[in-house]
Amino acid sequence: MALFSVILFLVAMLLPSFPVKGNEKRVFAALSTTLPEVQKEIVNKHNELRRAVSPSASDMLKMEWSRAAAKKAQAWADQCQYRHSRKEDRKLSA
């Protein structure tokens, strides 16, 4: 579990340093969170990690992909600021 987090961090940090000449767009396109298969992998891994907590939660709901949350997160990422967004900017209207 910790190994996955370390690997994910290293890929996210090092991958931009090693673009394959002429393949940049295709390589990064495969990691795009707009792809349903990537979204599914993220949600499945997240739910798998949540199920593994100890002690287990009695009322933990299964996470699903939220287009609204993804849109808000992408808007923040597009600003390319290496800091957390403000708490109020992370809230979605119900």
- What residue spans define the domains of the chain? 25-81
Which positions ≥6 away from 32 have C-beta within 8 Å? 38
Q: Which of 80, 71, 87, 84 is closest to 33 using CA atoms?
A: 71
29-51 pLDDT, tens digit each? 888 889 999 999 999 999 999 98
pTM for this structure? Answer: 0.59
**pLDDT score of 10:** 77
For residues 30 and 37, is the Cβ–Cβ distance under 8 A?
no
5-34 pLDDT, tens digit each? 877 777 777 766 666 666 666 767 888 889
For residues 61 and 85, is the Cβ–Cβ distance under 8 A?
no
**pLDDT score of 92:** 85
